[in-house]
Amino acid sequence: MAGKIILNADLYDNVLTEKFGDYVAKPRITGTYRNTDVAADIVAERTEFRPETIVNILTLADQKKVQAVANGKSLVDGFGQFLLNLSGSFEGEAPVFNPEIHVLGVTFTPGKPLQDALKNITFNLNKATTGPVINQVTDVRTQSVNLQITPGKNVIINGANLLIKGDNPANGIFFTKDEEGATTQKVEFFSRSTTSEQIVEVPEGLADGQYKMSITTQAGASYSLLKEPRTYVFPILLTVGKLPEGDGDSESPDEI
């Protein structure tokens, strides 16, 4: 990859230390890149391919890769290596897998092309204005972390400066479907509300799909009240319903 890639990252106070001037950095996410976007870029470079054909092939490839990892294979592609991992304590002479206490996950190791691309990245660091930061979202029903949410059930939101303060009508926690012209739905019910944790009910009206979650508040550091509300958008899309297998149809690809 030719040339340097310059990205932006925001600096936030490190809540794990009391040392003045100690920060953690969060890269600013520049957008969402889906199989449809990959197809569009390929078509722009090689016009002999139809975008629908490319999307279908990418979707089928995604499905085959998921099946391979789920069947215990080590998947290696141009992006990296994926393989299953297990965490949790296994006790006794004849322990058995228990999904209630054992966690099955996936280990990802970047491949050489991605590692080379990472070497070309540099950052402009900006001290973030005081405002909310979301670090993790846990679905109480499924115990899914940063992945799925359940309408009508609670999620636990962890972070900093999360307390909803101020009388600005823009303040609150919101879910917005990741599609053009989507209507934002506001959280109405709170079970717990502190500066570092919010336990809220996901709106019942959320249809299946992927959602951006955001929080807007006038809460500042040390329970201070800001004049204007600040908004933080959680960079990871949260899914209602079935997890997406890809961005195209599941039909067989057309002839190229």
Confidence at residue 46, expressed as pLDDT on a 0 to 100 scale: 81
> Nearest 10 degrees: CA dihedral of 14, 19, 21, 26?
-10
Give a yes or no: residue 44 inside a domain: yes
pLDDT in tens, 114-139: 999 999 999 999 887 677 889 999 99
Same domain, yes or no: 12 and 121: yes
pLDDT of residue 127: 80
pLDDT at 161: 86
**For the chain, how many structural domains are there in total?**
2
Q: What is the Cα–Cα distance from 205 to 198, expressed in whole angstroms?
A: 20
Query: Sign (positive/negative) of CA torsion 70, 75, 77, 80?
Result: positive
Query: pLDDT, tens digit, for every residue of 129-176?
Result: 677 889 999 999 988 899 999 999 999 999 988 999 999 999 999 999
Residue 67: give its domain's CATH number. Answer: 4.10.520.10
Q: Of 155, 118, 157, 154, nearest to 1 (Cα)?
A: 118
Instruction: Pick the closest to residue 130 from 23, 19, 7 (CA basis).
Output: 23
Handedness of CA 40, 26, 213, 103 (dihedral sign): positive
pLDDT tens for residues 215-227?
999 987 777 788 8
Decide if 249 is inside a domain: no
Q: Which domain holds residue 147?
A: 131-240
120 shares its domain with 135: no
Residue 95 lies in a domain: no
